[in-house]
Amino acid sequence: MTDVGLHTSELLDTALRVDARARARGPITGREYDVAAYPVHARSAKGSRIRDESGREYLDFLLGYGPIILGHNDDRINNAVIRCLVDGGANCMAPLWPPEQVELCNLLCEVVPNAESAFLLKTGSDATSAAVRLARIHTGREVVLRSGYNGWHDWSAPHPVGIPKSVRSLTQEFSFDDLENLEKLLLDNAGRVAAVMTTPFQESRTTSAHLAAIRDAAHRHGALFILDEMRSGFRLALGGAQEYFGIDADMATFSKAMANGFAISALTGRADVLDGLARTKISSTFFASRPEMAAAITTMRLLRDTSALETIRTRGEQLMDGMRPIFSSRRDVVSVHGYGPMPALVFAPDPAARAAADRFVEACVARGVLVHPNHQWFVSESHTSKDIDHALEVFDAAAAAL
Ligand SMILES: Cc1ncc(COP(=O)(O)O)c(C=O)c1O
């Protein structure tokens, strides 16, 4: 019996009847949901480990798609949230704001380069959409050029279905590695581009010079440069990719690792751009919700004041260094990319390689290591050197499935 009162065997059946997300998403690997091949529901998580609904434990390299930076269910963060709820007296107090809002904005302005002011929201898509609205207000232009996944809202959704053509036509995607393609789009839309938004890197590593070239192209054409730091923020470095690559963005967007799993996001940047908030309405009931702010303040202070980020980088590099020789003989199918705190095992886009990815991932899952066939992986402070050695042994055995 689960905590929600369903027998484990009924959980997936019931989900496939009543949970629109389960009905829409489909399984991570394979053609049909198969909880033995890849678990669907989680029961609990602690540190580097997650337990599925049947009680099986996995060493987790997905970490909620990135938010878990210290480790699952971290007592330091839980206690900050509990203290906030018990001592703080209340959660939602609108139209008044919690003092934590000031404290967190101040902390963001201290640790994020070029953050003259900060705006707190709930999700990553909130933050990227707010950045686009503010860029349009600041420049008086409408077109957005973007690269990477920037969220699900109409202007950025990766799939065009359900989105009016008139809306879609205002956003164009550029190829991250292709500066000529970016320049052409800027010229084709001369005088109309409000912002160039990109994640700081995609699968492969990038350079400061490449990011500077994207920024300079945006500025040359009168557009703002926005870095989407949803995955890199507080992970690649405390100040994100702006600090790591020494690159200045007009605005930067954050969420994920900011609060070790609590739902909060932030937009930081030039005060004159963020002051555009006075001319529009970007507001939501739960933007001022207090426990998530307490979680974010505590997470960011721990990342600032302890060696957590150094531990994460060391463990991640140990993982990547160990993975390279395991996959070196199958470069036609798979290669190791990314940075230690967020490594990527990238499979070739052809159907045979995709099927190999599924087989590899299922072989890892069968051995108790949770990885993903087509998403970046993540490492947390709670992953020990022994965890990494164990994962490498599992990858070595699972590589036979390639
Ligand atoms: C780079 C990037 N930008 C934006 C988003 C959207 O964030 P959210 O899912 O919190 O709306 C994501 C989410 O995965 C992301 O990875």
Q: Which two tokens stand for residue 115?
A: 């953050």
User: 284 and 212, same structural domain?
Assistant: yes
CA-nearest of 65, 12, 6 to 342 is 65
For residue 175, report the phi and psi dihedrals to the nearest 5 degrees. -85, 120
CB-ligand 1 contact for 199 (6 Å cutoff):
yes
CA-nearest of 278, 277, 268 to 242 is 268
Q: What Cα–Cα distance (Å) separates residue 49 from each residue in 53, 157, 296, 376?
A: 13, 32, 22, 18
User: 110 and 254, same structural domain?
Assistant: yes
Residue 70 lies in a domain: no
CA-nearest of 144, 137, 313 to 226 is 144
Query: Measured in angstroms, how far is the CA atom of residue 121 from the centroid of ligand 1?
Result: 13
User: 333 and 240, same structural domain?
Assistant: no
CB-ligand 1 contact for 147 (6 Å cutoff):
no
Atom of ligand 1 at shortest range from CA of 126: 11
CB-ligand 1 contact for 125 (6 Å cutoff):
yes
Element (H, E) at 339: strand 334-339
Ligand 1 pocket mutation pick from 149, 155, 374 by most atoms within 8 angstroms of CB: 149
Identify the residue whose C-alpha is closest to ligand 1 atom 9: 124
Residue 82 lies in a domain: yes
User: 316 and 273, same structural domain?
Assistant: no
- In terms of phi and psi (left: phi > 0; alpha: psi -120 to 50; beta: otherwise), the region of 154 is alpha
Query: Measured in angstroms, how far is the CA atom of residue 272 from the centroid of ligand 1?
Result: 25
Q: Which two tokens stand for residue 65?
A: 């798609």
Identify the residue whose C-alpha is closest to ligand 1 atom 7: 124
Q: What Cα–Cα distance (Å) separates residue 358 from each residue in 166, 172, 282, 326, 388?
A: 38, 31, 41, 17, 21
Query: Measured in angstroms, how far is the CA atom of residue 17 from the centroid of ligand 1?
Result: 27
User: 132 and 243, same structural domain?
Assistant: yes
Q: Are 347 and 359 in contact (CB under 8 A)?
A: no
CB-ligand 1 contact for 64 (6 Å cutoff):
no
Query: Measured in angstroms, how far is the CA atom of residue 89 from the centroid of ligand 1?
Result: 32
User: 329 and 221, same structural domain?
Assistant: no
Q: Which two tokens stand for residue 59?
A: 């060493």
User: 207 and 95, same structural domain?
Assistant: yes
* Boundaries of domain holding 86: 75-305
Identify the residue whose C-alpha is closest to ligand 1 atom 5: 151
Query: Measured in angstroms, how far is the CA atom of residue 231 from the centroid of ligand 1?
Result: 7
User: 42 and 91, same structural domain?
Assistant: no
pLDDT tens string, the chain, 402 residues long: the values are 555 667 677 899 999 999 999 999 889 997 789 999 999 999 999 999 999 999 999 999 999 999 999 999 999 999 999 999 998 777 888 899 999 999 999 999 999 999 999 999 999 999 999 999 999 999 999 999 999 999 999 999 999 999 999 999 999 999 999 999 999 999 999 999 999 999 999 988 999 999 999 999 999 999 999 999 999 999 999 999 999 999 999 999 999 999 999 999 999 999 999 999 999 999 999 999 999 999 999 999 999 999 999 999 999 999 999 999 999 999 899 999 999 999 999 999 999 999 999 999 999 999 999 999 999 999 999 999 999 999 999 999 999 998
CB-ligand 1 contact for 255 (6 Å cutoff):
yes
Identify the residue whose C-alpha is closest to ligand 1 atom 3: 150
